[in-house]
């Protein structure tokens, strides 16, 4: 579904990614972990088509990504909603661009508003919503567009711990129901293991893959999986690598 082939990326003299190779299969939920500045956002932006590789190529669904790619839908850390549109209009916006009739796009938008638990907030404007609710609108908007790939760049980082847990569980349900291909960035090993079917750790800059492990925690999954021995076993494996890479990136800065 996503093929990142020998991708390197530099911004001027700053070498951010070095010959990264990652194959993501349809229906995988891949979480990218890594020290701050190792190039995670750059990598996800390459898949979305916001950034072009210096060398190598990214292929999504058989097509090389050369521009902003409508096959992918992105959820950012800061909720990028249109403040002058209601929840319903925000969620239906992409469908409007595609020329879907008003009746149909409102039906589809309603379905996803219900899915993220925002029924009865259709007519609210973003400023009247909490951060967690706005992020749910962002997720509904991406889902309504029905992209092949959903990309999430630290979507829950700005939220309080309780809201984060609710949204994590909602995202797990959405993944279990939709079987979408998802790439998700986080700094949290717990979040990575709770959500993913596979965890990829990028090394300190220039980023490359230093660990790639399948997450075999069972589905249906909820937050209680964090109490299982297997969760702690996987966490210890990832923690060793992440700690080593964070240490390296701190030393490189001193
Ligand atoms: N458009 C740009 N122009 C110049 N430098 C950039 C640009 N985008 C990112 N960088 C630099 O590239 C490096 C990697 O950034 P990136 O945001 O991809 O890392 P990250 O792993 O997502 O970081 P964090 O976890 O802190 O969000 C950083 O040093 C950043 O300052």
CB 19, CB 6: distance < 8 Å: yes
Query: Measuring CA to CA, how many Å separate 137 from each of 70, 90, 91?
Result: 19, 8, 7
CA dihedral 153, 155, 160, 164 (to 10 degrees): -120
Sign of the torsion angle spanned by Cα atoms 71, 193, 247, 241: negative
> Rounded CA gap, 192 and 127, in Å?
30
Q: Is the pLDDT of residue 199 over 90?
A: yes
Q: Which atom of ligand 1 is nearest to the CA of 38?
A: 21
ipTM here: 0.96
Query: Measuring CA to CA, how many Å separate 4 from each of 8, 31, 60, 175?
Result: 10, 15, 9, 22
Q: Which atom of ligand 1 is nearest to the CA of 187?
A: 25
Best substitution site from 37, 52, 248 to test ligand 1's pocket, by max atoms within 8 Å of Cβ?
A: 37
Give 157-168 as a DSSP string. Answer: TTS-HHHHHHHH
Residue intervals of the chain classified under CATH 3.40.50.300 are: 2-71+149-252
Give 77-102 as a DSSP string. Answer: SS----TTS-HHHHHHHHHHHTT--H
pLDDT average, residue stretch 44-70: 92
Q: Which atom of ligand 1 is nearest to the CA of 202?
A: 21
Fold assignment, 2-71+149-252: Rossmann fold (3.40.50)
Token digits of residue 188: 């949290």
Q: What is the pLDDT of residue 19?
A: 94
Helix (H) / strand (E) element for 18: namely: strand 14-24
Q: What is the mean pLDDT of the chain?
A: 91
Q: What is the value of pTM for the model shown?
A: 0.91
**What is the number of H-type helices and E-type strands within the chain?**
7, 10
Burial 191-222 (b: 16+ CB within 10 A, else e): bbbbbbbbbbbbbbbbbbbbbeeebebeeebe
Distance (Å) from CA 110 to ligand 1 centroid: 36
- CB of 34 closer than 6 angstroms to any ligand 1 atom: yes
- CB of 38 closer than 6 angstroms to any ligand 1 atom: yes
Q: Is the pLDDT of residue 80 over 90?
A: no
Best substitution site from 9, 32, 42, 187 to test ligand 1's pocket, by max atoms within 8 Å of Cβ?
A: 42
Q: What is the pLDDT of residue 156?
A: 87
Query: How confident is the model over 124-177, as pLDDT tens digits?
Result: 999 999 888 998 899 889 888 888 899 999 988 888 888 888 889 988 988 998
> Rounded CA gap, 29 and 23, in Å?
12
DSSP state of 252: H
Distance (Å) from CA 1 to ligand 1 centroid: 25
């Amino acid at each position: 579904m996503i093929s990142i082939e020998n991708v390197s990326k530099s911004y001027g003299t700053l070498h951010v990614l070095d010959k990264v190779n990652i194959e993501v299969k349809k229906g995988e939920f891949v979480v990218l972990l890594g020290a701050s500045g190792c190039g995670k956002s750059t990598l996800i932006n390459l898949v979305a088509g916001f950034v072009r590789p210096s060398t190598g190529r990214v292929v999504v669904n058989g097509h090389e990504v050369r521009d902003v790619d409508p096959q992918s839908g992105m959820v950012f850390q800061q909720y990028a909603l249109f403040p002058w549109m209601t929840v319903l209009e925000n969620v239906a916006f992409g469908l409007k661009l595609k020329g879907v009739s008003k009746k149909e796009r409102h039906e589809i938008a309603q379905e996803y508003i219900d899915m993220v638990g925002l029924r009865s907030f259709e007519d609210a404007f973003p400023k009247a919503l909490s951060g967690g609710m706005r992020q749910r609108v962002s997720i509904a908007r991406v889902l309504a567009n029905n992209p092949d790939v959903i990309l999430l760049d630290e979507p829950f980082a700005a939220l309080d711990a309780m809201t984060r847990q609710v949204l994590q569980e909602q995202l797990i349900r959405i993944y279990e129901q939709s079987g979408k291909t998802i790439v998700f960035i986080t700094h949290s090993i717990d979040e990575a293991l709770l959500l993913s079917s596979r965890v990829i750790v990028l090394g300190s800059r220039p980023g490359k893959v230093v660990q790639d492990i399948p997450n075999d925690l069972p589905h249906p999954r909820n937050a209680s999986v964090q109490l299982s021995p297997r969760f702690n076993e996987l966490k210890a494996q990832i923690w060793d690598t992440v700690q080593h890479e964070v240490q390296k990136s701190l030393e490189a800065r001193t």
